[in-house]
Amino acid sequence: MAKIVFMWSPEHAPMRKLSIILPDDYKIELFDPEKTYPSHTVFYYDMYGGYHDCIPSQLTQGHRVVFDAKNEHYVHHHFRWVLDLFLTNPGQGCFVISGDQPDPLPGVEIIATPYWYWIMDQHNFRETGLDQQQRNFNITHKFFMSMGLQRLERDYLYDSLVDVLPQSLHSYRARGVELPDDRMDIVLWQRYVNPAWIDSTAFTLAVETYIDHLALTGYSITQRNHLFLCEKSYKPIAAQHPLLMVSTHNNLAYLRSQGFETFPELFDESYDDILDWRQRVQRIVEIIKQFDIKLVQQPTVQEKTRYNHARFFDQALVKQLAQQTIQQPLWSFMS
């Protein structure tokens, strides 16, 4: 059986993230630049890790190489050379990527997992206490929204929301707008949710990474590559909050395909079908303006938020998803 060697230095190795993709009893071995490895060794790289300059020589020596980019939806353009090397060394290269389905490439293995952020953030949200938080409703605002980095689409959304922003709790850090009582001093600050934000708002306006499906940030190796879910959508689910999604078209339906409930009793969800992102944003703004806070008192809404929360934190289910979409395909590539 081939052995995986992870191309991380000991001080930078994300041991928990590595352990998620391995069987429970698998011993993690980190790369030692002074060691000579047998030919059956599989070298496992992270797009944000180190030692990338070793890839050409390892492929030349006949080793198999895994390039893990699953924290993103696209492989960064400046790593195009990795794809070129894999194409010229058929059978030796494998990508792991967040996405719906692999886009077949000759001689290159592609492991596409739709569930990576769910798998990873179940643990992260447990660390920040979202699995244990009890709702204590005192709704004073229509919606909660959290945005960080500046993007053209987010600027357009923010400016379009100007009339309803006073009815929200929101942040847009790129414009200097911060949430009250935020925790930027903890390691998992991006996953932190203050219970007061949720209890005082009727729903989350979940602003996903991508809104314009043509705004590519790298090269794609998946089909239906406009579909992508990360912590921005899973956070309200983990926090037992209804969500209205600002994302690429059909991404809300993609969330439903993962078994989660959405909220047509609160919102006209046909916005999800609108192809043009500006028109989709304008329709979402209209929905927010027309929204009646009292609608969240419907029993079905609370039943759905509890169901979504339980499904998200189902450890057995998440372990099964990790095995099916990451572990088993990886072991198949190694065999």
Fold of 132-312: Rossmann fold (3.40.50)
Residue type, 85: L
For 114, the token pair is 């739709």
Residues 63-109 have pLDDT tens digits of: 999 999 999 999 999 999 999 999 999 999 999 999 999 999 999 99
End-to-end CA distance of the chain: 7
Nearest to 93 by CA among 64, 118, 133: 64
Instruction: Look up residue 112 and give its DSSP letter.
Output: E
Number of residues written out for the chain? 335
In this chain, the answer to whether the domains covering 4-114+317-334 and 132-312 adopt an identical fold is yes
CA 295 to chain centre: 29
For 110, the token pair is 């592609």
Round to whole Å and give the CA distance between 248 and 242.
19
CATH architecture, domain 4-114+317-334: 3-Layer(aba) Sandwich (3.40)
Nearest to 153 by CA among 205, 219, 204, 210: 210
pLDDT (0 to 100) of residue 198: 96
For 90, the token pair is 């058929």
Residue 174 backbone phi and psi in degrees, to 5: -60, -25
Q: Could you count the other beta carbons within 10 Å of the beta carbon of residue 35?
A: 9
Residue-range domain boundaries for the chain: 4-114+317-334, 132-312
Residue 66 backbone phi and psi in degrees, to 5: -110, 130
Round to whole Å and give the CA distance between 153 and 212.
7
pLDDT (0 to 100) of residue 15: 84
Low-confidence ranges of the chain (pLDDT < 70): 1
